[in-house]
Amino acid sequence: MASSFLYFVAAIALLQSSSVTADGYFARTCLDIKLLNRNINKNGHYVIHTDKNEAFTVYCDFNSEPPYVWTLVESFSRDMGTYRSTLPGHANFQKPFYYNMPYSQCRPDQWQNYRLSKRYMMSIWNARTTNYWRATCNFDLQAKELSFVFNHTDYMRARKCRLNMMTYYSGKPCIWMNYINIRGTACRKCLVPMWFSTSTHASTISSLTQNYCGRIKFPGAAGSPQEYNFGTYNGYNRDFGCTRYGESTTNWWFGDIYVTTNRFTNIKPI
């Protein structure tokens, strides 16, 4: 364990120079790193900076779904994310991002239990190169170069203007999703409810979505009492990728679209 940590630290030191330009522009997000050096395409750990120029390490996804570039802000296993789990630290993964509940934030290689502080999340969220958020399942398998091909099954993505993840902490808002897929049933540009409370993680509940907002139905929903997706897991379905096994992971990201012709203005499509 100690040797892997030292290797992680050494690898990060080599990457820090890629996040600062000669004129002192500090990368705030993984997309900034890509804009600073368009030849960077390899997913992995990179150093970015807060709006106060404090350096910290994150995991960057440059290539799973071009033209998007994503910064990982949280990842947790089903066992860690299950409501009323008895694992140490589980409470950190039962809160919306409104709350400052960091866990292993210096170790973005810890996919089973990793969450940035609110201050670090806010810096990424408020960057001009963040306009979307997404949730995925089991991205750690791709990060570890295991037999995993990324697709859009068990996935959701929306623009940040549709929901401020950093300020919302209680309620059931209708969210205009760019795309959502649960167990193979998908919709584009549709209204889906999300659930927030002061004691649970942001999530969808696919066994209830047909009753609210756009009334989208996800056949095969299961769970006791309901099927939670992308967080909370007070009831889950083993057919959903994030909850198939105890070590299956849920991954949350902030990101935006890489536009090659706009190095720092990062113009977005409608």
Task: Give residue-wise pLDDT tens across range 173-220.
Answer: 999 999 999 999 999 999 999 999 999 999 999 999 999 999 999 999
| Local confidence band at 265 (pLDDT 50, 70, 90 cut-offs) | very low
Q: What letter represents residue 209's amino acid? A: T
- Is the residue at 31 inside a domain? yes
Residues 6 or more apart whose Cβ sits within 8 Å of residue 107? 5, 8, 114
> Dihedral angle at the C-alpha atoms of 147, 157, 266, 68, nearest 10 degrees?
10
- Is the residue at 114 inside a domain? yes
- Is the residue at 226 inside a domain? yes
**pLDDT at 132 exceeding the cut of 70:** yes
- Is the residue at 270 inside a domain? no
- pLDDT of amino acid 238: 96
Is residue 218 a contact partner of residue 92, using CB atoms and an 8 Å limit? no
* Total-model pTM: 0.90
- Is the residue at 263 inside a domain? no
- Is the residue at 264 inside a domain? no
Mean pLDDT of 3-16: 46
Least confident of 102-111, 140-149, 203-212: 140-149
The count of structural domains within the chain is 1
CB atoms under 10 Å from CB of 170, counted, come to 12
**pLDDT at 269 exceeding the cut of 60:** no
**pLDDT at 101 exceeding the cut of 90:** yes
Dig out the tokens for 45 from the structure.
């750990």
**pLDDT at 37 exceeding the cut of 50:** yes
- Is the residue at 268 inside a domain? no
- pLDDT of amino acid 144: 85
**pLDDT at 19 exceeding the cut of 70:** no
DSSP string, the chain: -HHHHHHHHHHHHHHGGGGB-TT-PBP-SHHHHHHH-TT----EEEEEE-TT--EEEEEEESSSSTTEEEEEEEEEEHHHHSTT--STTGGGGSS-TTS---BSTT-TT-TTEEE--HHHHHHHHTSTT--EEEEEE-HHHHHTT-S----SSSEEEEEGGG--TTT--SB--EEEEEEEEETTEEEEEEEEE-EEETTEEEEEETTTGGGSTT----TT---SS--EESS--SS--TTSGGGSSTT-EEEEEEEEE--TT-TTT-PPP-
260 or 10: which leads in pLDDT: 260
**pLDDT at 6 exceeding the cut of 70:** no
- In terms of residue numbers, what domain contains 236? 2-257
Distance CA 135, CA 90 (A): 19
* Burial 19-55, CB ≥16 within 10 A → b, else e: bbeeeeebbbbbbbbbbbeeebeebebbbbbbeeeee
Is residue 50 a contact partner of residue 217, using CB atoms and an 8 Å limit? no
In this prediction, what percent of the chain has a pLDDT beyond 70? 86
- Is the residue at 267 inside a domain? no
